[in-house]
Structure 1
Amino acid sequence: MNYVAPTALLTINGAIAEVCLNRPKALNAINVEMAIALRDIFAELAQNTEVRAVILRGEGRVFMAGGDLNYFREASDKHAAAEALIGPIHDAVSLMAGLPQIVIACLHGAVAGAGMSLAMAADLAVAEQGTVFNMAYAKVGNSPDCSGSWSLPRIVGVRRALEIALLSDDVSAEQAMSLGLINRHVDKGQHEIEAKKLAERIVASSPAAMTNIKKLMRQSYDNNLSQQLDAEAEAFATTATGEDFSEAIEAFFERRKPVFRGL
């Protein structure tokens, strides 16, 4: 099954989907067309019960160089232009964060501006050696979008987040790994292989467990302890009635790997 748009591609192979940013000549900079395509793709994936993991990658030399500055340069009404772009891309980010599937950002080259924000909004991230991260917004006289100001302080802390955003210095893949911006730092050319391995591990796990873990972690910042305990109790009790939980218990006592079927 394939969904094709000029600026974004969705390919589904079994339980793994791949979302490809497809403006390589523009370094995958986001324009309105790409923003709408990503919104529609993530909306479609939200309804797909067969897909269990999503790999987000960029075509060409980089993951994403940020927003399309030429779009703003040519706009006579920059406020209207900003609204036309930010509306659908923010919808896309919100949809991606809320997907029942686990989203893995597969990163290479430049990961800048909105590209860095988008990468941080994914659930897991893999980057090859030589990948360079830069918030970049300050360099163009503006502030973060695409949830960058939400994700960055939660990952690295407020003081470090301010440094990264205010100074817009390059962050190497090695530094990104030490800061927790990525989960895996791999050799050149190995990022897609590693992302696929992670996706396959997710697919081999209990779907309910993966979905509930993601949901609980993401809502934890908005809950107090009592609310989070209630959410954990509800999720655990509901999942405990499924066949996958029973299979996992039997496999534990039989000293074998469980075979999850999503039931």
Structure 2
Amino acid sequence: MTDAPDLVRYAFADGAARITLTGADRGNPVEPAQIDQLFAAVRRAGRDDAKVIVLDAEGRFFSVGGDLSAFHAAEDTAAFIDDLADGLHRVVSELVRSDAVVVSVVQGTAAGAGFPLAAAADVVLAADTAKFSLAYTKVGLSPDGGSSLLVHTLGLHRVLRLALLGDLITAQEAYDAGLVARVVPAAELADAVDAVVGQLLAGSRAAQAAAKRLVREQAVAAPEAALRRELLSIRTLAVGADGREGIAAFLEKRPASFS
């Protein structure tokens, strides 16, 4: 990956690590190079002993999710899905298991794998322009990246609605459902982030880490098991007839004809 473009930027100051998705020209898609760089950045935050990790993104989108053109072009789709999903799941697991408090900042749409990536944070801040979508079934795939973990935040039937109907939810709806901690006008988002990060940095690291661990373990004791089930499911569907048709239809900008 030495020749890969810079898709993630890392900065560290005063106990806070900021990890920024920088592939704005393409909507910050979840792809192998980005995941490799994102994982390296999260690990670097651990080495820097970050008390807070801020995950944000440049451009109109937090992330459009997986790059379906790469799925379509892969010579071995199953192997490609395995590697991509495994890499993304390692990132999600690192964020969930980290002693640092993770703050995600959603300024635009978080779709597909971008949705559970943002939701892997402990505190989600959103501009009033933000939207969230699980669009997997529209292209013949099953939710991935920690989507099933959203049940513990949003509730069973809300997640089923998002997964099965592909609905968008607004930042306000996500706040009302308990996913988002603050919704602010887009122009005020940076100030809101600074305020929340400052509050966290002023607190007790030991107490925050203990609170995060206790609450997360109560919600789901083994998130990696759920992530593994997601990987097996999306891999099977991606190489099946509906997965191939859904991806092709999306790229060709036509309605899919599923079996």
TM-score (norm 2): 0.81
Q: 1:5 to 1:45 in 2, by over 3 A?
A: farther
TM-score (norm 1): 0.79
Alpha-carbon RMSD across the aligned residues, in angstroms, is 1.5
Contact 2:126–2:171 under 8 Å retained in 1: yes
Contact 2:152–2:219 under 8 Å retained in 1: no
Contact 2:129–2:171 under 8 Å retained in 1: yes
Q: 1:221 to 1:110 in 2, by over 3 A?
A: closer
Q: Deviations over 1:107-158 (max 9, x none)?
A: 01111111101111110001111211111111221111111111x1101111
Take 2:103 and 2:71, find their aligned partners in 1: how far apart are those partners? 30
Corresponding residue number in structure 1 for 2:183: 185
Q: 1:178 to 1:60 in 2, by over 3 A?
A: same
**Displacement after TM superposition at 1:220 (Å):** 1.3
**Displacement after TM superposition at 1:189 (Å):** 2.1
Contact 2:36–2:87 under 8 Å retained in 1: yes
Take 2:146 and 2:85, find their aligned partners in 1: how far apart are those partners? 11
Take 2:194 and 2:5, find their aligned partners in 1: how far apart are those partners? 23
Where relative contact order (Cα < 8 A, 6+ residues apart) is larger, the structure is: 2
What secondary structure does 1:190 align onto? Answer: helix
Corresponding residue number in structure 1 for 2:104: 105
Q: Deviations over 1:7-36 (max 9, x none)?
A: 111111111111001111110001101111
Corresponding residue number in structure 1 for 2:33: 33
Please say if 1:196 is aligned against 2:205: no
Please say if 1:129 is aligned against 2:128: yes
**Displacement after TM superposition at 1:70 (Å):** 1.5
Corresponding residue number in structure 1 for 2:19: 19
Q: 1:222 to 1:121 in 2, by over 3 A?
A: closer
Corresponding residue number in structure 1 for 2:80: 81
Take 1:82 and 1:219, find their aligned partners in 2: how far apart are those partners? 28
Q: Which runs of 5+ in 1 are unaligned?
A: 224-263
Take 2:106 and 2:219, find their aligned partners in 1: how far apart are those partners? 26
> Runs of 4 or more off by more than 6 Å in structure 1?
none
**Displacement after TM superposition at 1:172 (Å):** 0.9
Structure showing greater Rg: 1
Q: Which of 207, 212, 215 does residue 213 from structure 2 map onto?
A: 215
Please say if 1:118 is aligned against 2:117: yes
Q: Percent identity?
A: 29
Corresponding residue number in structure 2 for 1:167: 165
Residue correspondences, number? 218
Q: Which runs of 5+ in 2 are unaligned?
A: 222-259
**Displacement after TM superposition at 1:48 (Å):** 2.7
Amino acid at match of 1:112: A
What secondary structure does 1:142 align onto? Answer: coil
Take 1:104 and 1:64, find their aligned partners in 2: how far apart are those partners? 16
Contact 2:51–2:201 under 8 Å retained in 1: yes
